[in-house]
Amino acid sequence: MAEDYLVRIGKLIRDARQHRGWTQSQLAEALGTSQSAVNRIERGNQNISLEMIARIGEALDSEIVSLGYSGPMHLRVVGGRSLSGGIDVKTSKNACVALLCATLLNAGRTTLRRVARIEEVFRILEVLNSIGVRTRWINDGNDLEVVPPAHLNLDAMDTEAARRTRSVIMFLGPLMHRANRFKIPYAGGCDLGTRTVHPHMAALRHFGLEVTATTGSYHAEVDRSTAPRRPIVLTERGDTVTENALLAAARYPGASVIRNASSNYMVQDLCFFLEQLGVKVEGIGTTTLTVHGLATIDCDVDYSPSEDPVEAMSLIAAAVVTSSELTIRRVPIEFLEIELAVLEEMGLDHERSAEYRADNGRTRLLDLTVRPSKLKAPLDKIHPMPFPGLNIDNVPFFAAIAATAQGSTLIHDWVYDNRAIYLTELTRLGAAVQLLDPHRVLVDGPTRWRSAEMMCPPALRPAVVVLLAMLAAEGTSVLRNVYVINRGYEELAERLNSIGAQIETFRDI
């Protein structure tokens, strides 16, 4: 094995480890080896097998190698180009994964239209397939058909795929109706710090689900004699917590009241889908949901999830940071009204079409044209709130937008432990981003963007923010190991190229 090959492998491993926030000793412990061995690997001074590289990639949740290809995927971006034309918003990634989990409630065939073909969906499909669920792409790969078996083989669950997505936690709600005892691996996904699963356990305990955490897995046991005797009050108004409670309530034959529920876009899509299954849900769009569940659900159902407001925000930010005129079609406006109100105050020049309905018949859409604008920093800080507040996942995009605005913007990302830290990566592209504490950054603008070569942050939205800044930077930038972007966006580079970007996908090992 050539020495330069070992050095390049070592550098990728070192960068992936550092972005995860691990020491060499922590990585060594995860691999069952010594810190000195990890040090030699990272310096390119030790031969390393493909098996070991794969183990390191799994430990760091980083696609360091991809069997059958020449290596992890990177992006080469020629920046400083204006975007133009129009682009459609894809269906919601978060709604699609929730709906895939919800198919376990139904004994019949479920057809989901225009499902996002992203890594997060692929991981959930791998888990479903491993336990016996039949899935197939139909209509030229645009739609997805899901048919569960009469009996799930939960012992055969693909634990590797399950660990690579946080969404697997939403298997708890539907699986409690299919088995008295089961286990699922710890949820993975983005590296955003510790996020407790206690709210899930507290909500599902009302339906008789008790969960014990052991090494690497959650062990679940169901007491069928337990039923909700009073309203379920969620201790956290979280999206996946609300979805898990909905999935549990859908097959409970009675009325379940869920208070302090999220009313966010993916929760509403799940409610609309449950109604298609025959489950009555009162209070959709509010923080109190009353679910009239069914003991059994066996029907063929056809459902179209709505468009993704976070992807829409990504495209708005792309237009802003590149000073472009761009029309973004099929924008789910009811989930972006606060963001657009803030951008209006900052001076955004834009035009909205008349509203129309999404294919689910419920969600309000419009087409949005964004024009080059001279922005000023907002008077108040940027901070997320549960819907109808500014969406938690849209906060990072305001870091790139604030970097183009005149003045100082305080961004307070109070939900996640690490995500604000990743926003400081914009400094490598010329932005003035000061980390005040693990949750707050101060962004000074305007920015003279410059090109750079850097490792992709291990969190989805900050990773896309870095890519968007590269679009604005004169010269050629390289973003390495973009698996995390592929988790949440379908063919993002190709779609940006269709509106004037110049992004090349490549692999170098």
Instruction: Summarize pLDDT for 233-283 with one digit per residue, the tens.
Output: 998 888 999 999 999 999 999 999 999 999 999 999 999 999 999 999 999
Helices (H), 207-308: 239-250, 265-276
Instruction: Summarize pLDDT for 44-53 with one digit per residue, the tens.
Output: 888 887 667 7
The bridge status of strand 86-88 relative to strand 232-233 is unpaired
Identity of residue 48: I
Q: How far apart are CA 312 and CA 332, in angstroms?
A: 8
Distances, alpha carbon 348 to alpha carbons 48, 133, 325, 383, 401, in Å: 52, 47, 11, 19, 10
Look at residue 176 and give its three-state secondary structure. coil
Q: What angle do CA 482, 487, 492 make, to 5 degrees?
A: 65
Q: How far apart are CA 475 and CA 492, in angstroms?
A: 20
Q: How far apart are CA 324 and CA 143, in angstroms?
A: 33
Query: What is the structure's pLDDT at 82?
Result: 96
Q: Which two tokens stand for residue 445?
A: 């603008």
**Domains of the chain with bracketed CATH:** 3-60 (1.10.260.40), 74-89+307-506 (3.65.10.10), 93-303 (3.65.10.10)
Which 8-state DSSP code applies to residue 81?
P
Q: How far apart are CA 126 and CA 306, in angstroms?
A: 23
- For the chain, list residues with pLDDT below 70: 1-3, 5, 19-21, 50-51, 58, 61-71, 187-196, 508-509
CA 426 to centroid of chain Cα atoms = 20
* Nearest to 195, CA basis, from 186, 203, 184, 182: 186
Distances, alpha carbon 63 to alpha carbons 18, 53, 59, 153, in Å: 15, 10, 10, 28
Q: Is 32 left (phi over 0), alpha (psi -120 to 50) or beta?
A: left
* Nearest to 160, CA basis, from 115, 192, 129: 129
Contacts 24+ apart (CB under 8 A), 175-180: 175/104, 175/220, 176/204, 176/207, 176/208, 176/209, 176/220, 176/222, 176/248, 177/105, 177/248, 177/251, 178/104, 178/152, 179/152, 179/154, 179/222, 180/221, 180/222, 180/224
Q: How far apart are CA 30 and CA 35, in angstroms?
A: 11
Query: What is the structure's pLDDT at 89?
Result: 97
Sign of CA dihedral 71, 75, 78, 79: negative
